[in-house]
């Protein structure tokens, strides 16, 4: 299994050289930016997108807020499960990093000694993006675009073959989607219980929304009290 891309005539290797060749032609400062974005930036961006979606959902306070928040909780859990599933896959395939078998690559991140297939980064960002898509289509589409870009950068950096990234995308998607019904069945009742809690209900809906009452400004309350006094 270690020889998934041992030949330079392999389309996987050809595409690796084509994409990584862009790094050779780019200025050094741009490669440093891509290195940071590919290693940390895009993952952080998708996590912040999940948090932004949660904040929007709780502020809006729709009737299905509990189920949406449950889906948002499932997104990082799906990423964690997918990474655990990847552990035996990596050990079985035992595919070395591309720069160990192929010369002339511009490797932007040094010190990568673990196996290459499948990409943990691609697995995590895609699981997060698909989980986000289950919760909210608009935010999910943005997350999917970021995940695809993140996979491209991993090849650009010279640390993964294209098929490593595709495999990570497939694994992250499979875990997030196939286990979603079970996860939602378990997490939605929990989020509904949280929503009813007077202490932590704000995690699902903002306080004004969670009570099911319209927020009344102090001036309006005083006017209503005066009207009741006059009526009495």
What are the structure tokens assigned to 92, written together? 């079985």
Residue 4 in any domain: the answer is no
Q: Are 123 and 82 in contact (CB under 8 A)?
A: yes
Do the beta carbons of residue 67 and residue 184 sit within 8 Å?
A: yes
Q: Please report the pLDDT score of residue 217 as a whole number.
A: 41
Residue 207: per-residue pLDDT = 61
Structural domain contains residue 216:
yes
The reply to whether 131 falls in a domain is yes
What would the two tokens of residue 41 be?
């930036």
Predicted confidence at residue 208, as pLDDT, reads 56
Q: Does residue 202 belong to any structural domain of this protein? A: yes
Q: How far is CA 20 from CA 8, 12, 117, 144, 170, in A?
A: 14, 12, 18, 22, 22
5 occurs within a structural domain? no
Structural domain span for residue 157: 11-231
Q: What is the pLDDT along the chain (232 residues), one digit of tens a residue?
A: 444 444 446 888 989 999 988 988 889 899 899 989 988 999 999 999 999 999 888 888 777 788 889 999 999 999 999 999 999 999 898 899 998 888 888 888 887 888 889 999 999 999 999 999 999 999 999 999 999 999 999 999 999 999 999 999 999 999 999 999 999 999 999 988 888 888 877 877 776 554 444 443 444 445 555 555 544 4
Q: What is the pLDDT of residue 7?
A: 43
- The pLDDT, as a whole number, for residue 83 is 95
Phi and psi angles of residue 107, each rounded to the nearest 5 degrees, phi first = -90, 115
Number of domains in the chain: 1
The CATH number that applies at residue 174 is 1.20.144
pLDDT, position 216: 39
Contacts with 175 (C-beta within 8 Å, 6 or more apart), sequence order: 78, 81, 82, 85, 127
Q: Residue 73: inside a domain, yes or no?
A: yes
Is 6 a domain residue?
Answer: no
Identify whether 84 is part of a domain.
yes
The pLDDT assigned to 85 comes to 95
């Amino acid at each position: 299994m270690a020889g998934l891309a041992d030949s330079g005539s392999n389309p996987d290797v050809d595409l690796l050289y084509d994409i990584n060749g862009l790094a050779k032609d780019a200025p050094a400062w741009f490669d440093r930016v891509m290195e940071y974005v590919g290693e940390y930036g895009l993952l952080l961006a998708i996590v912040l997108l999940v948090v932004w979606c949660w904040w929007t959902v709780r502020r809006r306070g729709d009737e299905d807020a509990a189920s949406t928040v449950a889906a948002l909780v499932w997104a990082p859990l799906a990423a964690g499960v997918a990474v655990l599933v990847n552990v035996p896959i990596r050990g079985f395939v035992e595919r070395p990093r591309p720069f160990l078998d192929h010369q002339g690559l511009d490797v932007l991140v040094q010190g990568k000694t673990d196996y290459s297939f499948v990409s943990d980064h691609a697995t995590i960002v895609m699981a997060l993006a698909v989980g986000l898509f289950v919760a909210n289509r608009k935010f999910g589409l943005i997350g999917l675009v970021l995940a695809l870009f993140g996979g491209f950068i991993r090849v650009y950096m010279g640390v993964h073959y294209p098929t490593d990234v595709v495999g990570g995308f497939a694994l992250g998607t499979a875990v997030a989607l196939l286990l979603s019904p079970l996860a939602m069945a378990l997490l939605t009742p929990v989020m509904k219980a949280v929503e009813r809690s007077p202490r932590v209900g704000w995690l699902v809906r903002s306080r004004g929304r969670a009570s099911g009452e319209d927020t009344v400004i102090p001036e309006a309350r005083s006017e209503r009290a005066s009207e009741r006094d006059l009526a009495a």
